[in-house]
A = this chain, B = another copy of it.
Amino acid sequence: MPYSAAHKQQTRTRIIESARRLFNRNGFEAVTIGEIMKDAGLTHGGFYKHFAAKEDLYQAAVLQFICTDTPPRWQRRNIDPSAAGEGIVRTIVDAYLSDDHLRDVGGSCPMIALPSDAARGSDSVKDAFRQVMEMMVGVFAEHLEPCEDGQPARERALALVAMVVGGMVLARSVGDRKLAAEIRRSTRRQVYAAAGWQR
């Protein structure tokens, strides 16, 4: 067996990483196989040794966000690894709504960078989106204190995720930097109020 299985796996991962970054920036349609392969240090023809078709990359690129060993800078810089309990959720919310995340289009969460692309995509892309969302909802629900009014943790987690995703999606779409900052600030305050946190 020439070229170890590990070598092929590494190349495949490199292709997916390049694809994720480029898709995040320009969408599924606008990015070409040639661009992805060039970014991965290869030529376009080799693509089909790893994937049957361009579409097969979409799901892999979305899932890469929750499977990667190398989280993007906006996560490393803004998520406090020593946080515990509700602090975990709080530090994730702050990172998610951070200026770093807004600007890091290539490394951003796919729910922010590719929502309308996914909505038009195949069932497999949508399922990848579902997995990303469920992961975030799961972390939120696990660490949020139970609500005194009896609201289920999952319901509250879903609403908080919708809030931060909506805030970032709008901030990215409106263009105006000041307005984008205002949207993120308002969203963060509302999340804090809904979760019963100070400040």
List chain A positions with a Cβ less than 8 A from chain B.
25-27, 29-30, 105, 111, 113-120, 123, 126-127, 129-130, 133, 151, 154-156, 158-167, 169-170, 172-176, 179, 182-183, 185-187, 189-190, 193-194
A162 lies within 8 A of B173 (CB): no
| Chain B residues within an 8 Å CB radius of A182 | 158
Closest 5 CB pairs of A and B: A166-B166, A126-B175, A159-B190, A158-B186, A162-B166
Q: Which of A120, A155, A179 counts the most chain B CB atoms within 10 A? A: A120
A172 to B120 Cα, complex, angstroms: 9
Q: A105-B119, A194-B194 are in contact. List 19 more A-B contacts (CB 8 A).
A: A27-B27, A27-B117, A111-B170, A111-B173, A115-B116, A115-B170, A116-B116, A116-B172, A119-B169, A126-B173, A133-B173, A159-B167, A162-B163, A162-B166, A162-B187, A164-B166, A166-B167, A166-B169, A190-B194
* CB-defined A-B contacts under 8 Å, sample of 13: A25-B120, A113-B119, A114-B116, A115-B173, A116-B116, A117-B117, A126-B173, A126-B175, A129-B173, A130-B176, A133-B174, A151-B193, A158-B186
A177 to chain B, nearest CB (A): 11
Instruction: For the complex formed, measure the closest distance between the CB of A186 and the CB atoms of chain B, giving whole angstroms.
Output: 4
Q: Is the CB of A158 within 8 A of B174?
A: no
Quick one: given A116-B27, A182-B158, A186-B159, are A129 and B166 in contact (CB under 8 Å)? no
